[in-house]
Structure 1
Amino acid sequence: MEDTDQLPFVLENAPLKQDAAGHVFPDRYSIKEVGTDRTLTCFEAPNLQVTIKAGLTVTASAARKAPPGTIYLDGVAQAEPFLDHEKKVYNLDHHEGCVRTFTLATCEQALIMCVKGFDLRDREWKIFANEPDLDTILAIWILLNHQRINNRDAIHRRSLFALVRLEGIIDAIGLELRELSGLPADLLQKLMRIIDRLRMEELELKKGGEWSKTDFLAYTVGVLRKLDQFLIKLGELDDFKGIEELARIELTNNRIAVVVASDLGIYELEPHLIKLYGNRLGWVALRRGEKDYTLRQMDLFMPVNLEDVYQRLNFMDPAVKGRINVSRWGGSGDIGGSPRNLGTRLLPGEIVSACRDVIEKRSDIRHVKRFLSSAVFSMLIVIAAIAMGQNWESARWLGRETLGEVFRSPVVGFHTALLFFTTIMLGIVALRRPWQFGLMLPAGKDWWRLLPMAILCGFTGDMLVPDKMMFAADPVAAWTIALVLIPLSLELLFRSLVHGMMAQLATIQDSESRWFFSGPTIGSALLYAATIGFQMTMMADSPMAFLTNGILIKYIAVAAIFGLAAGMIRERSHSILPAWLFHAAAVATSLFAFGPA
């Protein structure tokens, strides 16, 4: 049995960096900065984040409505102590809504919860405090070390219980009633010396008027390290392996994907990962260098394997951008890694986001929502372009009354506006990932196989071309509009903007993949065909007659077929340029074969 009377006497005289037996205590705590936020974490409980802000408070109603996985400590929530197991929200407190004299202190509440089996490994938790007094820091230590609390071989449990009970009495009802702890007189004195040592810096800062200026997180880390040496058994941390969690994301069926950093190899790391995360770990990415990662599938029963993750990462990674003849993410179905030559340019958060995308892209609802949002964007651009075309007064706007008849045409106005509004939207959405929208040089060569399909569509005579009047007025301008303005405006809208938006969660072709019709190719082709049909109807001399004579169906069918071919060209070349060139080739074929409409 543990000798509670003797242990504190040994520990209170031990140095802070090394225990009496020469064992060095590792630094298990770190402070992370994400933007303007700073949090404290423990390497052995990376899913717990501690925030300490002076004066932080939330109302009782806000505390009850807090996001799942929230724990308030010692006065942050202005409400009575409560345990909401259904919502996973807890308030460990003894200030508001209770009789303080009869209510356990915060550290005692935390200890009782953990001793009764409170398991914090099932999700991410955010712990909030507003002042790091010893009561609060003890509660934080208990929560961060909840897996060790019930391991009698890992910590000095009776010493922890005695220390928490004494601090709880002092914090709740005062130092003068410390004898209510029921501890023997000599043990009480030894524990008081330990408490004084733990509070020494706090008292000095308060005495000097510096407490309010103190970095509370850094101060808390210092006290937590001292508590490690007081409470963790000698040699228990000798096999501790520093594992830093860099990113985490929820997947499905209580599974997560994480990115970690460690000096160990992935196979050596697996037992420690299982200890940290239990059976929740689906995929893990181990950072081996600044830009090098190893991917490992921990759960063999995931609905997809790493092959799908590689495809998504290659689509997202600026270092790859889907091109051939470069290093790529790859490997087997259960282990692989980042590009070998230059490494990856993805951040840890983006890597786990790719893992979630692979899971979520299997949802039909996600695809429908993406299609509808893309349709709305394209519809708004087309409507704006129609409005511009109907009110096209280029000569007056440019102050050139001698401007040619061709450039006064509403058709020119429509496609100029279409090009303008599409370019504006691409500048907004494609800035971070231009390759996702085909804004790069072509790759591969097999997309040339689709040239006959474009020529065949041109031979139908149903491609959108300027009318005879424009060619009669200015042939050079008309050919420029036919081969440049019209194809470019349509391809940028449908094969760049719309296709790129739909490709966010979809599996698409690349220059080395098998041939198939992807969701973005089909979706963009449908929207393209609908727009062509609408435009042809509006351009007809008698729209109602045009709708009923059957010609419209032919235009829409040809547009849909060409849209499918252009989408495949866009995907296999990774670029919008071949789609534009093949569109121009189809238009040129139509003009040479049938002349202007």
Structure 2
Amino acid sequence: MRLVIERGKTVELAELPPWSIALDGYVQGPRLDNILHRYSFDHHKDCIRLITTATCEQVRDAILLGLDPSRYTAYVNDVDTDTALALWELRNPFRLREPKVGHYIASAGLLDAHGGGYPLVYERRQIEWIGVPETEARISGEYEKLSAQELSQLIDRIGERFELLLAGKAPSEEELRHIETKADFQRLFDGTGWTMVQAADPHVLFDLYEQGIERIVTCRPQKDGSHTYTVARRSDFVDGFDVPTILAALDAVEKGWGGGSTIGGAPRNPDGSRSRLQPRQVFELVEACVCRQMNSVR
């Protein structure tokens, strides 16, 4: 299986050659073309997160239900644990019937699909441990500068950690719990029923949800002067913060914002940069959108 990494790129499924697999947003939304053997496994657009599994679970199910990935080229535009595990599955289809593989893929899928909002993932810390290479790169600011080759190496490192976990050579959940530290964050603005925070750790949503904060925009400054933003609500049942509407309002000001029904974020540009909007601008745009939503139902 061949891998193509093009940071920030999105295309239509029809633009891909035959025997292509687009992962986690390279093509927006889940798509199937059995005639030319082109598939998009994604859960970021044109879907309801509650009933759409993460990319790694979609790929697992596809392989178990008959997809032979050996002839395909996989396309990705970003790297996280979900994408890396999907690639591990495409490279190791013969292992997907192993009970441990299925168990950990399901756990990783729940964490990714629900952005930390799902409470019963008992291996949460071990799944986070798998993704430490990516998390550390983002926190340090190195991630946005990584080349395609370096992103490929990052995928391999996450896959190697997954292998260690399967072999029983990773730290236990209990060991990781003892050394766990809560994500640091700074509250920037309080909106109408929602909060904007600045945090370096991309897993900060886990801790915010545990504190009862269910409507959130996170902000992380990058070294190039742009900002990473995530717009999230804990689930599709949290009202007063319609994420797709908010993302559409932001996209009208700066192209490239997008996501699913509960989580989305800033543009992912080919040069590694993200949004050029400043935090106060984003706050004001989101707050105006939230107020319009509330007024429309009164």
Query: How has the CA–CA distance of structure 1 residues 164 and 140 changed in structure 2, closer, same or farther, with 3 Å as cutoff?
Result: same
**Larger fraction in helix:** 1
Aligned position for 1:166: 107
Aligned position for 2:130: 198
Q: Does 1:49 align with 2:5?
A: no
Distance in 2 (CA, whole Å) between partners of 1:119 and 1:233 is 28
Aligned position for 1:72: 22
Aligned position for 2:37: 88
2:78 partner amino acid: E
CA contact (8 A) 2:111 2:124 kept: no
Distance in 2 (CA, whole Å) between partners of 1:193 and 1:170 is 10
Cα deviation, residue 210, structure 1 = 1.3
Distance in 1 (CA, whole Å) between partners of 2:6 and 2:126 is 26
Query: How has the CA–CA distance of structure 1 residues 178 and 137 changed in structure 2, closer, same or farther, with 3 Å as cutoff?
Result: farther
CA contact (8 A) 1:52 1:132 kept: no
* Residues 452-475 of structure 1, C-alpha deviations (whole Å, 9 max, x = no match): xxxxxxxxxxxxxxxxxxxxxxxx
Give the secondary-structure state (helix, strand or coil) at the position aligned to 1:51.
strand
* Residues 368-417 of structure 1, C-alpha deviations (whole Å, 9 max, x = no match): xxxxxxxxxxxxxxxxxxxxxxxxxxxxxxxxxxxxxxxxxxxxxxxxxx
Cα deviation, residue 216, structure 1 = 0.6
2:139 partner amino acid: K
CA contact (8 A) 1:70 1:88 kept: yes
* Residues 111-163 of structure 1, C-alpha deviations (whole Å, 9 max, x = no match): 11111232234xx311001111000001000011013324xxxxxx2222221
Larger RCO of the pair (alpha carbons < 8 Å, separation 6+): 2
Cα deviation, residue 232, structure 1 = 5.9
Aligned position for 2:116: 175
Unaligned runs of 5+ in 1: 1-47, 151-156, 182-187, 235-597
* Residues 530-570 of structure 1, C-alpha deviations (whole Å, 9 max, x = no match): xxxxxxxxxxxxxxxxxxxxxxxxxxxxxxxxxxxxxxxxx
Aligned position for 2:159: 224
Distance in 2 (CA, whole Å) between partners of 1:196 and 1:66 is 32
Q: How do residues 30-429 of structure 1 correspond to structure 2 at under 5 angstroms?
A: 48-58=1-11, 60=12, 63-78=13-28, 80-121=29-70, 124-150=71-97, 157-179=98-120, 188=122, 191-214=123-146, 215-231=150-166
Q: CA RMSD in A?
A: 2.0
Give the secondary-structure state (helix, strand or coil) at the position aligned to 1:72.
strand
Q: How do residues 446-457 of structure 1 correspond to structure 2 at under 5 angstroms?
A: none
CA contact (8 A) 2:133 2:157 kept: no
Cα deviation, residue 86, structure 1 = 1.9
CA contact (8 A) 2:63 2:69 kept: no
Q: How do residues 507-586 of structure 1 correspond to structure 2 at under 5 angstroms?
A: none
Distance in 1 (CA, whole Å) between partners of 2:8 and 2:68 is 29
Give the secondary-structure state (helix, strand or coil) at the position aligned to 1:170.
helix
CA contact (8 A) 1:107 1:168 kept: yes
**Larger fraction in strand:** 2
Cα deviation, residue 201, structure 1 = 2.3
Give the TM-score, by structure 2 length.
0.52
Q: Percent identity?
A: 30
Distance in 2 (CA, whole Å) between partners of 1:170 and 1:192 is 7
2:102 partner amino acid: F
Distance in 2 (CA, whole Å) between partners of 1:89 and 1:99 is 22
Distance in 1 (CA, whole Å) between partners of 2:44 and 2:22 is 12
In the alignment of these two chains, the number of paired residues is 166
Distance in 1 (CA, whole Å) between partners of 2:119 and 2:74 is 28
Give the secondary-structure state (helix, strand or coil) at the position aligned to 1:176.
coil
Distance in 1 (CA, whole Å) between partners of 2:115 and 2:159 is 23
Distance in 2 (CA, whole Å) between partners of 1:178 and 1:144 is 30
1:163 partner amino acid: Y
Give the secondary-structure state (helix, strand or coil) at the position aligned to 2:131.
helix
Distance in 1 (CA, whole Å) between partners of 2:168 and 2:124 is 20
2:156 partner amino acid: V
CA contact (8 A) 2:95 2:101 kept: no
Question: Any runs of at least 4 consecutive aligned residues in structure 1 with deviations exceeding 3 A, and if so which?
Answer: none
Distance in 1 (CA, whole Å) between partners of 2:6 and 2:158 is 17
Unaligned runs of 5+ in 2: 170-298
Cα deviation, residue 65, structure 1 = 4.4
* Residues 457-499 of structure 1, C-alpha deviations (whole Å, 9 max, x = no match): xxxxxxxxxxxxxxxxxxxxxxxxxxxxxxxxxxxxxxxxxxx
Give the TM-score, by structure 1 length.
0.27
Distance in 1 (CA, whole Å) between partners of 2:99 and 2:154 is 26
Query: How has the CA–CA distance of structure 1 residues 140 and 125 changed in structure 2, closer, same or farther, with 3 Å as cutoff?
Result: same
